[in-house]
Amino acid sequence: MAGRRALVTGGSVSIGRSIALAFADAGAAVAIHHATAADRAFGKPGAAAETAGIIRARGCKAAVIDADFAIAGEARRTVQAAADALGGIDVLVVCASIQYRVPFDEVSAEQVERQIQINFKASIELLQAALPPMKSRGWGRVLTIGSVNQTTPEPVLSVYAALKSAQHNLSINLAREYAPFGVTVNNLSPGLIATERNRWRRDDAQAWADIERGSSPMHRAGTPDEMAGAALLLCSDAGSFITGADLQATGGRHL
């Protein structure tokens, strides 16, 4: 990925962070989008600056963009800020999302709207801003981060799962549209991954072990770093003939 310029949303922690660091290791300049409030809630208020520092220490350019995707227009602004900082965007990874683990009949209207805005409307903003310049240059990579919940949804994640399915449908549609112009659009669907989002579930080691055993045929959770290899494939020249794919990185849970 030497010479490529990548924007990774939700790039300060967990899967986004691992992807950003992997891109830098492959030679890319990386813009890390994050939301200060989200990082603070994870107990990692300096995560974005720390990740950018690691990238710079590896000899690559890094930029940090703070934006709350719950606010309309912020996702579009993020793309412009990243392009300004890096001189353009060749690769977009749509990783930022939220979820509420709530039974369907208890999901509040506010929780529904917030998920729709951050998990889907912001994705549309990002794509509408990033894809036309890629098309004009004749090269681009888009990777949306989906979820195993697209195909095997958990009841307490009903709205989240539905929106991940909608995002996947959008990525397939765009893959077909942009294929003639050297731009690929793919989806990566992680299974159970040990992230900051589910760190609270690991407070009880035995309960977490039980969750892991039932999570997939591998009987374990994945790690954020295990998502980075798939992202590298789909966002580099190595994946030049792959578009419209949904790569299931689930330890076999989707089978």
Walking along the chain (255 residues) 10 residues at a time, the average pLDDT comes out as 98 98 98 98 97 97 98 98 98 98 98 98 98 98 97 96 98 98 98 96 96 96 98 97 98 92
| Strands in 13-69 per DSSP E | 29-34, 62-66
pLDDT of residue 110: 98
Q: pTM surpassing 0.95?
A: yes
pLDDT of residue 105: 97
> Pseudo-torsion of CA 163, 164, 165, 168, nearest 10°?
120
Q: Which amino acid is at 90?
A: D
* Residues contacting 110, CB < 8 A, separation 6+: none
pLDDT of residue 15: 98
Determine the 3-state secondary structure of 69 from DSSP: coil
Lookup result for tokens 């954020």: 224
- In this structure, what DSSP letter does residue 92 have? E
